[in-house]
Structure 1
Amino acid sequence: MKIIFNTKAYFLVLLLSSLQMMAQQDFGKVAGKISLSGNTAAENISVTLKGTKYSDVTTVSGQYEITRVKPGTYTIVIRAVGIAPLEDKVVVTAKQTTTKNFSLNESQEDLQEVVITKNKYKQDKPSMSLRLQTPVLEIPQNIQIVSGQTLKDQQITSMSDGVIRNVSGAVRLEHWGDLYTNITMRGSQIQAFRNGFNVVSSFWGPLTEDMSFVDHIEFVKGPAGFMLSSGDPSGLYNVVTKKPTGVTKGEVSALVGSFDFYRVSVDLDGKLDKKGKLLYRFNGAAQKKGSHRPFEHNDRYVIAPVISYQFDDKTKLTFEYNFQYANMTEIGSYYVFGPKAGGYATMPRNFTMTAPGIPDTNIQDHSGYLQFEHKFDDNWKLTAQTSYFKYLQQGYSSWPTAVGPATTANGDIGNGDIIRNSSIWDADSDMFLGQIFVNGKFNTGAVSHKLLGGIDLGDKDYMADWGQSHDLDTAANPFNIWNPNYGTPSNGFPQFDRDTPLSQRAGGLYGSEYASGYIQDELGFFQNRLRVTLAARYTWISQTSSYEDTREDSHISPRGGVSFSVTEDLALYGLYDQAFIPQTGVVSSGEVKPLTGNNLEFGVKKDWFDGSWNTTLSVYNILKKNELTSDPASTPARPLSIVLGEKRARGVEFDLRGKIFDGLNLIANYAFTESIVSEVDPTVSLATGIKVGDVVPGYAKHTANAWLNYTVPAGKLKGFGASIGGTFLDGRQTDTWGEGLEKLPTYFKLDGGLSYEIGKVKVTANVFNILDKYLYSGSYYEWLQAYYWQSEPGRNFRVGVTYKF
């Protein structure tokens, strides 16, 4: 038996070696750098070997790499709108790398877009803030990128304004207005990142990003803790902000819409010196936004300057500042409450319970970034970056103290009496974050390596005063939903103490410090046809809270992935990953521990028709331990959490995006999600009624989205476009454990639009909720014995004009 085993092992090694030798003999590689005038790196420029399917897109440093090219003589083509086309001959030799660098000149003709990819809805490479050097097709993980052009075509103005329709399985069952994004995916709320930094300082935050300074958004399914510090096992979204391109251009947009919606934005990009070493980017926006509910508004003002300096070919320094100012109706004004006997949506969708006269809530959101990049050579690069986030809020939150009797004596819907309550919500958050990491490439014999290693540091503090509250109505003179009085409330308006410093009156104090180190190696076999990823991260976290003692913990999270290119445009992958994140909350019994979880995932990725469009199919199984969830016995005055033993999420996801043929672009996705309690402490089960097999709140079992856009590419109607899109949700679970007597209904929303582009001007008009359906999201609140919901507007429109110069 030993001889047979040794013979088989020898035969296997011989076979693998033979295949590797064959691969080495058959293929070569073309690589290089593309620069604009002034030696500015040209990012996202398409590089193609003419008449073949071999192609790549340049990285942020202008680098491209076309692998597994058969030996021969080719014509390499560089072409982009606004840049003079460039072609050259290149000879590819087996087992050799042919280096071909290009320097491009700006075209004097009208610039429309310098950032060129194969199409406007598909991006082939992640940003450097994800720290990867690998095309999306070859990464052993489901990563979906929502391009900047997608945001423009769909007239998305903020992170909470329809972005999730472009990603499978992403939902917002609790909308939280246009204040917090709070996206749920794979059965849990996913983490919010910006430029690679985890920007979550509290359960509610961060303030949803305005799209004026956003370049694109990356959705990473699964833990991905090795890349971006601690993160939920369900995934994260990474908002990538706009950076200078080195090309002088500008854009001004104006947008008007239903419910007193007015918005202007500007995007300026260019050089501050003749050599093109000192670059700038400035984005700004001003928005006045009403609502389909009376007395409600949400106004925004945004500025986002960026300055970068290229010292030489190897070193670059970038400074960025984002400021968002929001002035809005009190938090929670968008919710409506109804008695248990009535169920959801018993009031018209434009009904409001707010009290005109409550002062506005003001939010100032500051963030600053300093990034240093240094290339030692073409294979090794060091990135160090630090950021500071400051969040200031002074405002109010509305939530009723009591909802009238559920039924009358004869069993009809109750009398509709409600005692409204307004509480203070002043908050102050500071986050100091730092990262340093190294990307490297090297070979050991016939095996290639893409190495990633680094350190993450963070210090986060959040404090809030939500302890002062005031009933607007009295039991003798309540607010009645059937006969609302929007005059001065019977109990008057609140007069809260703001003379005392927030640090002394804050009832909620949360803090965390963390330090972590990680290393990952992507090993490439058979000319990188087979890729094996091995990684590990060590994380130390210390948490403080006004409700409990300081806690410290540490954990090592391993990661392993395999990706295999069956062909150049078809890859299979498998992944095992773990997560480790801190949690904050108050529990009536037990101890709050960091959440740990793991993800097992398999998938298929395919590029179609020379990469014009892409599909991703994935299946996953996530286990999470020690996760906090809301206690059914919780009250606004004393919000409590419970610790679940273990929950399991399983699902299937499918995404399609790209150019089907010239002029026709499609985004479509579907996800099946199921999340249940797999283990529960008997004490918790006895106190709450939660048991093994119960459905975990906060997701939709079936989600499906599509967005189809066609633009006439030639002829008399050139530049005319039309779009149609829809969102379907079924099996929606509420965000609370209390089920009530009624489930959330099936959701379907249909949107569409027209556009026309001629020269430097583009006009876009979209109609949302074309079918004028009553759409809403909500939950049952056990403590009040009431339903609450937030309605979406009926049929509404937006018309925008963009001028490029």
Structure 2
Amino acid sequence: MKKNVVILSIIIHLSGWVYAQQRVPDSLRKMRLKEVEVADRKRRFRTDSVSSLLRLEGSFLETPQHIVNVSSALIREQGGLVLRDIVRNASGVHMGYSSNLFDASTTIFMRGFPAPTFVNGLYQKSSVDDAAIIESVEFIKGPAGFLASSGEPGGSININTKAPKSQRVREVEISGGSFNLWRGAIDLGSAVRNKGFSYRLNAAYQYQQSFLDFIKTNKFVVAPVLQYNFSPKTYILGEYNLVRMNAKGGSSTTKVGTDEEIRNAKLSSNYGGDPGLPDSYGQTESARLMFTHAFHPQWKLILQSKYTRTPIESWYLMSDNQSPVNFDPSNTTRRLPVKSFQQAEVIATQAYVKGNFQTGVAVKHYLLAGADHNYTKDLYDYNNGQYSFAFDRNRPQYGLPTDSVKMLTNVFSSNEINNWWSVFVHDMIHLGPRWRLNVGGRYTATQQTGGESEQAFSPRLGLTWLIRDNISVYALYDQSFIPQPGQDFEKRSFKPLRGNDMEVGMKGEWWHKRLTTNVTVFRVTKNNLLVSDLTHPRYRIQTGQATSTGVELDINGQLTDRWTVSANYAYTHAVTSKDTKSNNVGMSLAFMPQQIANAWIQYSLPISDAGRLSFSLGESTVVKPATYTKDVYLPGYTKFDAGVAFDAGKWYVRVIADNITDKRYFSSGDILIGSIYPDVKTTYYIDGNPFNMRAFFGVRL
């Protein structure tokens, strides 16, 4: 608590000093007020359309799909630093079983199923992420394979990174907070020129400890972007992103215990960590090249390609029975070192044209056609220590000999390659002023490590009726086909994933488009689903079929000039509908809650010509998170957040408090019976953060 007070004191003093420097004559205050008003418009929490790199042309009302766009303004207002902080702003999105510090977006679930991540419309596997490079995040419900190269039935996530803008950018931010958080970030960029070079550079450094014993992390972010415009209609862009996080004291966040052990456990206990463990690290590194050419007033060509590499090296301790650290009746165990290394490489390329033409007075076509190719290579290496070390929970002693820890035996290795390409055509047809017909399809061919190859055609059909200028209803049918690399324990290759999505929804824009609402009813069917093999750890098995039905509601934007809101609710019934084991039919899909509700409400009060004071309150509720045990659920929870900020246009200060009631809850986990102790229920869990604070101070130059 003393550290929090010191941090707040430093930031308040800095705020006062900058405010003193900002005192200006009355003749300049009107100019400053205009700057603040422009900034307010830019900080609106909603957007009117999807990003151009999602390929789709159409407004929010016209698009027959549930898409939630989260702006960088909202991310900043909530103090978000990673994707985990951002998912609260979209209905039905939940972080699944995140077992270590480097899971990043790989554990996000939408509509009951894992959701892949795309960056600027290109497929990517991430180990670590950071908000310093994020311009906006789009949560795309349903397959939408024509949007983003391949479409999971439940949905996908697209991150749009920062690039040169129409105006220059000069911003510096420092922040600090609980668990000894210290962070600095810069955002520099020139305005895009009609002809010539422009740039954008984002960089950040962050150090933070954890509420868990021993864990200390530092993170580096470097993201330069260089753009050259041959003309206003033609440009080439090069981008490099590097996000790396190093961890000391271990990387696992998973705990395990019976109900009684959990009740008696200290929140800070970290039996899977130790000061003697070698350093762990996770890294996401990518390079992208894009060319855009508007060769006709109505037609544009886009080519882009990206290479991504995401190595992760994790060190942690487990009991010698191959489970997270657990204890016998005498409260003792033997801790076994584990080193796992995994690396994903992705080469993604796409080329497409889009434009519009008319075939009648009242019929206009917005056509998209192109091809894409994706190559992925996944390397995994799992090693156990040659020595295990006695440990007594009643008299814990830490500080293992690092040299002995590093002596390893390989247990499991795999190398999987997946190669697929597709061609697609999509047409949004304007049938008069009120009707929009979406038709399209994608043909995909794939080849995997063992030489297996498959092909499929995935159609799409959507219809939108603009009831009024601000209200629309839509219906959508979409299919997906996704190759799934790898083999099960018996060396059988996995079949491609096939899925169907049917949904109907209603959208609205209110108060001169300042507020949007979106309500959707959906049914998703997924065939050849992959789940963890509980009999053979580190392997997966393929089940028959899973279905997910539910309803989603999102509300985003401004209620008035002073009130803004980001609120959502989702009810999801995701179950196994077909399986070779009849007992599994009807079983809820693990990790997905039955209900999720989130809200973030902000009230802003102008207190001077140049200043605006705002107060925020947030809430997150999770009901009945499912596990791998039938009809057994993790405890649900409700937690609250709050914030206060002052923005003077040229500078700002913001304080965010998370989990203000200091509620203990499980952010994710699982429950198994007999996995460690015969016939005893054991919970594998990741504790959510206790009460913590973050304070930010930024200057716009």
C-alpha separation between the residues in 2 aligned to 1:335 and 1:405?
A: 9
Deviation at 1:109, TM superposition (A): 9.9
Paired residue for 1:534? 439
C-alpha separation between the residues in 2 aligned to 1:443 and 1:518?
A: 21
CA gap 1:796/1:438 in 2 versus in 1, 3 angstroms: same
Written as runs of structure 1 = structure 2, the 5 A alignment for 1:509-658 is: 509-527=415-433, 529-544=434-449, 549-588=450-489, 591-635=493-537, 639-658=538-557
Paired letter, 1:349: L
2:373 to 432, 453, 457: 457
Paired residue for 2:669? 778
Paired residue for 1:190? 115
Deviation at 1:261, TM superposition (A): 0.5
Written as runs of structure 1 = structure 2, the 5 A alignment for 1:377-396 is: 377-396=296-315
1:429 to 344, 347, 350: 344
1:722-770 deviations in whole A, cap 9, x for unaligned?
A: 1000100011113xx2469x63112111000111112411000011110
2:87 to 164, 167, 171: 164
Q: How high is the TM-score relative to the length of structure 1? A: 0.78
Could you tell me whether the CA contact under 8 Å between 2:671 and 2:683 is conserved in 1? yes
Deviation at 1:346, TM superposition (A): 4.3
Written as runs of structure 1 = structure 2, the 5 A alignment for 1:28-107 is: none
Could you tell me whether the CA contact under 8 Å between 1:585 and 1:628 is conserved in 2? no
Paired residue for 1:701? 594
CA gap 1:459/1:345 in 2 versus in 1, 3 angstroms: farther
CA gap 1:110/1:424 in 2 versus in 1, 3 angstroms: farther
Paired residue for 1:678? 577
C-alpha separation between the residues in 1 aligned to 2:192 and 2:301?
A: 26
Could you tell me whether the CA contact under 8 Å between 2:202 and 2:223 is conserved in 1? yes
Equivalent residue of 1:238, what SS?
Answer: strand
CA gap 1:401/1:586 in 2 versus in 1, 3 angstroms: farther
C-alpha separation between the residues in 2 aligned to 1:332 and 1:472?
A: 19
Paired residue for 2:255? 336
Written as runs of structure 1 = structure 2, the 5 A alignment for 1:265-280 is: 265-271=185-191, 277-280=196-199
C-alpha separation between the residues in 1 aligned to 2:464 and 2:192?
A: 44
- The reply to whether residue 729 of structure 1 matches residue 622 of structure 2 is yes
Deviation at 1:115, TM superposition (A): 7.7
Paired letter, 1:285: A
Could you tell me whether the CA contact under 8 Å between 2:127 and 2:312 is conserved in 1? no
- The reply to whether residue 282 of structure 1 matches residue 282 of structure 2 is no
Paired residue for 1:57? none
Paired letter, 2:671: Y
Could you tell me whether the CA contact under 8 Å between 1:662 and 1:713 is conserved in 2? no
Unaligned runs of 5+ in 2: 1-30
Equivalent residue of 2:190, what SS?
Answer: strand
Could you tell me whether the CA contact under 8 Å between 1:332 and 1:399 is conserved in 2? no
Paired residue for 1:244? 164
- The reply to whether residue 790 of structure 1 matches residue 686 of structure 2 is yes
Deviation at 1:345, TM superposition (A): 5.3
Could you tell me whether the CA contact under 8 Å between 1:472 and 1:494 is conserved in 2? no
Unaligned runs of 5+ in 1: 1-106, 201-205, 409-413, 499-504
C-alpha separation between the residues in 2 aligned to 1:230 and 1:346?
A: 46
- The reply to whether residue 744 of structure 1 matches residue 604 of structure 2 is no
Deviation at 1:425, TM superposition (A): 1.9
Deviation at 1:711, TM superposition (A): 1.3
CA gap 1:115/1:532 in 2 versus in 1, 3 angstroms: farther
Paired residue for 2:393? 481
Could you tell me whether the CA contact under 8 Å between 1:404 and 1:418 is conserved in 2? no
Deviation at 1:692, TM superposition (A): 1.6
C-alpha separation between the residues in 1 aligned to 2:320 and 2:456?
A: 42
- The reply to whether residue 720 of structure 1 matches residue 613 of structure 2 is yes
C-alpha separation between the residues in 1 aligned to 2:53 and 2:431?
A: 26
Paired residue for 1:210? 130
Deviation at 1:641, TM superposition (A): 2.1
1:293-340 deviations in whole A, cap 9, x for unaligned?
A: 1210221101100111111132111111101121014664312222x4
Could you tell me whether the CA contact under 8 Å between 2:610 and 2:649 is conserved in 1? no
Deviation at 1:231, TM superposition (A): 2.4
Paired residue for 2:333? 418
1:555-604 deviations in whole A, cap 9, x for unaligned?
A: 10000000110001000000000111122343245652011000000000
Could you tell me whether the CA contact under 8 Å between 1:260 and 1:290 is conserved in 2? yes
Deviation at 1:133, TM superposition (A): 1.3
- The reply to whether residue 143 of structure 1 matches residue 36 of structure 2 is no
C-alpha separation between the residues in 2 aligned to 1:311 and 1:251?
A: 28
C-alpha separation between the residues in 2 aligned to 1:658 and 1:759?
A: 20
Paired residue for 1:232? 152
C-alpha separation between the residues in 1 aligned to 2:236 and 2:169?
A: 21
Could you tell me whether the CA contact under 8 Å between 1:372 and 1:383 is conserved in 2? yes
Deviation at 1:404, TM superposition (A): 11
Paired letter, 2:559: I
C-alpha separation between the residues in 2 aligned to 1:716 and 1:112?
A: 9
1:692-747 deviations in whole A, cap 9, x for unaligned?
A: 2122212000100000111113558941111000100011113xx2469x631121
C-alpha separation between the residues in 1 aligned to 2:43 and 2:222?
A: 29
Equivalent residue of 2:606, what SS?
Answer: coil
Paired letter, 2:555: L
Paired residue for 2:19? none
Could you tell me whether the CA contact under 8 Å between 1:419 and 1:471 is conserved in 2? no
CA gap 1:470/1:382 in 2 versus in 1, 3 angstroms: same
Paired letter, 1:421: L
C-alpha separation between the residues in 2 aligned to 1:783 and 1:166?
A: 36
Equivalent residue of 2:132, what SS?
Answer: helix
CA gap 1:608/1:118 in 2 versus in 1, 3 angstroms: farther
Paired letter, 1:419: R
Paired letter, 2:289: L
Could you tell me whether the CA contact under 8 Å between 2:485 and 2:493 is conserved in 1? no
CA gap 1:301/1:125 in 2 versus in 1, 3 angstroms: same
C-alpha separation between the residues in 2 aligned to 1:640 and 1:395?
A: 18
C-alpha separation between the residues in 2 aligned to 1:491 and 1:484?
A: 21
Paired letter, 1:122: R
Equivalent residue of 2:319, what SS?
Answer: coil
Equivalent residue of 1:137, what SS?
Answer: coil
1:618-663 deviations in whole A, cap 9, x for unaligned?
A: 010011111111122123xxx2322211111001000000000002
Could you tell me whether the CA contact under 8 Å between 1:668 and 1:707 is conserved in 2? yes
Paired residue for 1:761? 651
Equivalent residue of 2:355, what SS?
Answer: strand
Could you tell me whether the CA contact under 8 Å between 2:164 and 2:192 is conserved in 1? no
2:406 to 481, 487, 494: 494
1:371-430 deviations in whole A, cap 9, x for unaligned?
A: 00000222100100011112233442443333699998xxxxx43333332222233332
C-alpha separation between the residues in 1 aligned to 2:400 and 2:274?
A: 8
* Range moving further from structure 2, 299-308 or 327-336: 327-336
1:56-110 deviations in whole A, cap 9, x for unaligned?
A: xxxxxxxxxxxxxxxxxxxxxxxxxxxxxxxxxxxxxxxxxxxxxxxxxxx9999
Paired residue for 1:800? 696
Could you tell me whether the CA contact under 8 Å between 1:344 and 1:789 is conserved in 2? no
Paired letter, 1:444: T
Paired letter, 1:630: S
Equivalent residue of 1:342, what SS?
Answer: helix
Structure with max Cα Rg: 1
